[in-house]
């Protein structure tokens, strides 16, 4: 994500770019916290990561709509985010068993 943010126009880099950077770190923090938490607490951390992921998807779409991202980069990022979402969903489902 950081490589993509350096290509953002200056006015978007410090608004949309910073928000995307912050959300990415929040996702990573939540996943790490889930990995180190007791089984009972993992689900809450994964929910938080999933919420941040959904917000990130919306902001990536906003970046496309405002022409900050081209279609190729947008598709690449969306596929990555979709894969992360599948992994989080699978992890959450395994906790419910």
Q: Any idea which of 13-17, 51-55, 68-72 has the lowest mean pLDDT? A: 13-17
| Residue 30, H or E segment | helix 18-36
CATH architecture of the domain with residue range 2-96: Up-down Bundle (1.20)
Other beta carbons less than 10 A from residue 16's beta carbon: 20
Task: Quote the pTM value.
Answer: 0.86
Read off the tokens for 64.
């496309």
The vertex-52 CA angle with 70 and 77, nearest 5°, equals 25
- ∠ Cα 4 76 36 (to 5°): 80
Kindly report the length of the chain. 97
Token pair recorded at residue 19: 């928000």
Tokens 């068993």, residue? 97
Q: What is the pLDDT of residues 23-62, one digit of tens each?
A: 999 999 999 999 999 998 999 999 999 999 999 999 999 9
């Amino acid at each position: 994500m950081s490589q993509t943010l350096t290509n953002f126009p200056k006015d978007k880099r410090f608004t949309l770019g910073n928000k995307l950077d912050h959300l990415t770190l929040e996702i990573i923090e939540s996943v790490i916290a889930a990995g180190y938490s007791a089984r009972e607490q993992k689900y809450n951390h994964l929910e938080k990561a999933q919420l941040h992921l959904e917000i990130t998807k919306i902001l990536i779409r906003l970046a496309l709509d405002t022409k900050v991202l081209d279609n190729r980069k947008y598709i690449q990022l969306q596929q990555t985010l979709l894969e992360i979402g599948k992994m989080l969903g699978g992890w959450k489902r395994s906790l419910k068993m």
